[in-house]
Each structure stands twice: as structure tokens, then as C-alpha cells.
Amino acid sequence: MMKAKSTSLLLALLLMLGALSGCGGTESASSKGNVPAASTDVPDLAADTGANTEPAVPAQGNAEGAGLFAGGAGTAEDPWQIATAEQMDHIRDDLTAHYVLTDDIDLSSCGNWMPIGTFQPLSDAPEDAEIPHPDYAFTGTFDGGGHTISNLSVSSEAPMGAGLFGCATGTENGAAFIGHFTLKNVNVSGFYLVGGAVGLQFMNCPVADIHLVGDNALAGMQGIGGIVGTGFDLISDCSATADISVLGDEAACAGLIAGGTTMSSIRNCEVAGGSITAEGNATWGFGALCGAPWGAAEITDCKVRSTVITVSGENNRLVGGLIGFGGTYDPTAPAQISGCTVEEVSIIVSETTDSVGGLIGAGKEMMEGSDVLSSFVVSGCTVSGSITGGGDHVDTVVGDLACAVSVDCEGGMAITTATSAAV
């Protein structure tokens, strides 16, 4: 059983999953750069839509696949071959198969892309609220073959899961996988779990070697990441540049690689430039790499440079140049934040934003109201850049040291608070 990270995540499951159009859809296409931003209004969770909230189960094991793709058989040994946007659109016809790109793909003709795989909870039981039903998620493998997918546009009405893939998970029959490609010029907006490559990356589904380049914009309320919105498995060897807008009060968890993770690590990833902007009040969990790596055992060999993080509302917390907060909840095995570099990152926060650090803002309680705190070790890291503003617990490397077992980090950010500026 997994612990919910926020009540808003659980409440969001009550919403009906909205339908979008892919290449084969009938809705009018939206051109790249004109995708409307997600509404800043939190959806009315109590509204009765009068519609059936259970979507049809996608077809699996498509026997006609040979006529839909450029070649292959959909197996691990002989995956379906994808050479056009129309062929890529047919992945959702069989979410269990194996796929490989054989050419670069331009999705501009697809207009508002329907994410591949959707989130539906495993059951109505509270303990299953964050577990995706495998019949609706992508459970196969997607190997980009080193190719580029460009001009992805998603403006999602679904409450959870926006991106090229909306929701992906492994199953008891085998691991899922998404990786080995470049995303160029993406514009993705949604509500919860918004990512360039995948909105929700669940267990037994590693993501690797994805690179986000060009002019990229993402917007959402919680769990917004350039590569992954929220991840439950390893993210490795990825890079990203993007501008992320965090929408609304009490919004949370944004980073250019991942918005947040749960009990899963990030290795050998890099962020260059870009920005995170949060204007609401009572927001939390922002870092250039990852805003909220909850319980992650390792954040290793990662680098961020020249990113600007702006958190301008009142009563915010947990902001860091690398990660917003971190740590495991086993005191005998603290999280390892090692070999990471923060280079010339700028953090600009309000005077009431607490726990702000050049590398990491702080640790965090296990859940709201809990007295169980995370713990972490920082080793072999370097930091440079600046912090402007801040309330309590603002420091050059670790904002609040209460959860730090030890800190070995060279350099640190220059700090300009309201008090120091007035002197």
C-alpha cells in the first residue's frame, strides 16, 4: 500500500477523464504555440457531469497491426515499427505491445494530441487511489531509436496525466519502458501529473535517455516535469530545457526533469536553462532538477545550470537549486545526494517563502501532520548562483539543516534577503 502525497491528488481521481483528439480525432487542430494554458481554476470536484465516468477499455493485442505500422510484429524481439505521426497515433490501439521509431516524427498535423495511456484507479478502495489500472495505462515498451519527436501539443481536460504518454506502468507480466528519443518544441498543459514525455510513470517502468530541446512550455497544478510529471521508477540519462508554469494556490511539485517522484531515484540527468514560475500562495516543492523526490534513495551525478526559479506568492516552502526537498524515511539508510552540480541558478522568492537552499530546501515530514521526517546525506556536490528573498531557513546550500545527516558541498549561493538589502 502506498501513501498518498497530497489530498488534492486523491480528490482529483473523482473527476471524469476528458476525451482529447489524436491524429485520427475529429476535434479541430491547435497549432504549435497556440495551445491554451490550463485553467487556473481548480476543477469542481463535486460537480455531477451526468456522464459515464468509466471510459471504454482500449483494445489490446491488435490483430490488424500489420496494416497500421511500417513493419514488425509488436513483440519484444520484433517491435512494431513507427515511421509517421499517423502510425504513432495507433499505439493507443494496443497499449501492451512493443514499439520502435524508425524515423523522426512531426506531430504538428495532429493538433491536440491525445496522451497515450490514461489513468484510472485500480479500484474504488482508498489504498488503490494512486495505483493505475493496467487496462488503461501504457504497459508496453517504446524505444525512440535515437530519433526526434517534434511539435507535441497537449491541452488536456483530463484531471491526471498529460504528455506524449499520459500514464505508463509495468505489470506482473513484465516491465514497461519509455526512452531513447528527443522531444523538440512541446507545449503541454493540464492539471495534475503533467510531463513532456509521460505524465505518470508508475512502477516497473523505467524512463531513460530522453532529451527535451528547443522551445518547450509546460503548465499545470501539481507534478509538472519537463520529462516526467510524477515518477515511481528510475529516471536516468535525461536532459531538458523548458519553461514551467505552476498554476494556482496550493500548487506543488515542479522540476525540469521531474515534477516529483515517489521512492524512486534520478541518475545522470542534466538541466540547461529554462525556468519554473509559481505565482500562487501556499505553494511548495520546486527544484531545477526535481521539485519533490519523495523518499528517493539517490539523486546522483546530476547537473543544473542557468535555470531561474521564481516563487512569488505568500507562505510558500521547500525550494532548492537542485531539488525542493528530499530524503528517505528509513533513518538507517538516508538518501544520497551525491556528485551533483548547481551552476549559476537564480532563485527568487517572496519574503514569506521558507526552507530555501542553493542545493536543497529541506527534508520533509512523511505526510502532512506526521512527526516522521526524512533524512539525507549530501556529498561531492558544488553550488553557485543566487537567492533573492526568503523567510525562515534560507541558506547557501541547505535551507533547513534539520534533516541533513551530513553535508559535503563546495561553494554556495549568494543570498540577498529583504533584511540584508535594507542594511
CB of 13 closer than 8 Å to CB of 90: no
pLDDT at position 204 is 96
Share of the chain above pLDDT 70, in %: 83
Q: Return the residue matching grid coordinates 514488425.
A: 72
CB of 368 closer than 8 Å to CB of 404: no
Closest to 142 measured CA to CA, from 196, 198, 189, 193: 198
Distance CA 25, CA 252 (A): 32
pLDDT at position 285 is 98
pLDDT at position 65 is 67
Q: For residue 36, what is its C-alpha cell? A: 491554451
Q: Which residues contact 93 (CB under 8 A, 6 or more apart)?
A: 58, 59, 62, 65, 68
Residue 18 in 3-state DSSP? Answer: coil
Regarding pTM above 0.85, the answer is yes
Tell me how many degrees the CA angle 4-284-165 measures, rounded to the nearest 5.
60
pLDDT at position 30 is 32
pLDDT at position 56 is 61
36-95 confidence digits (pLDDT tens) = 344 434 343 233 333 334 556 665 655 466 689 999 999 999 999 999 999 999 999 999
pLDDT at position 384 is 98
pLDDT in tens, the chain (423 residues): 333 333 333 333 223 223 333 464 433 333 333 333 444 343 432 333 333 345 566 656 554 666 899 999 999 999 999 999 999 999 999 999 999 999 999 999 999 999 999 999 999 999 888 899 999 999 999 999 999 999 999 998 888 999 999 999 999 989 999 999 999 999 999 999 999 999 999 999 999 999 999 999 999 999 999 999 999 999 999 999 999 999 999 999 999 999 999 999 999 999 999 999 999 999 999 999 999 999 999 999 999 999 999 999 999 999 999 999 999 999 999 999 999 999 999 999 999 999 999 999 999 988 878 888 999 999 999 999 999 999 999 999 999 999 999 999 999 999 997 655 443
Closest to 153 measured CA to CA, from 103, 219, 247: 219
In sequence order, what E strands does 69-140 have? 80-82, 98-101, 105-106
- CA 28 from centre of chain: 28
Edge to edge, the sheet with strand 160-162 lists 160-162, 192-195, 222-225, 252-255, 284-287, 317-320, 354-357, 394-395
pLDDT at position 176 is 97
274-292 confidence digits (pLDDT tens) = 999 999 999 999 999 999 9
In sequence order, what E strands does 5-120 have? 80-82, 98-101, 105-106
pLDDT at position 14 is 28
pLDDT at position 128 is 87
CB of 360 closer than 8 Å to CB of 320: yes
Q: For residue 92, what is its C-alpha cell? A: 493507443
| Burial class, 368, CB count within 10 angstroms (exposed 0-12 / middle 13-18 / buried 19+) | exposed
Which sign does the torsion angle of CA 93, 96, 97, 99 carry?
A: positive
| Count of residues in the chain | 423
Q: For residue 161, what is its C-alpha cell? A: 496525466
> Within 13 A of 62's CA, how many CA atoms are on the CB side?
21
pLDDT at position 370 is 82
Q: Return the residue matching grid coordinates 534577503.
A: 417
| Backbone phi, psi, residue 329, to 5° | -110, 20
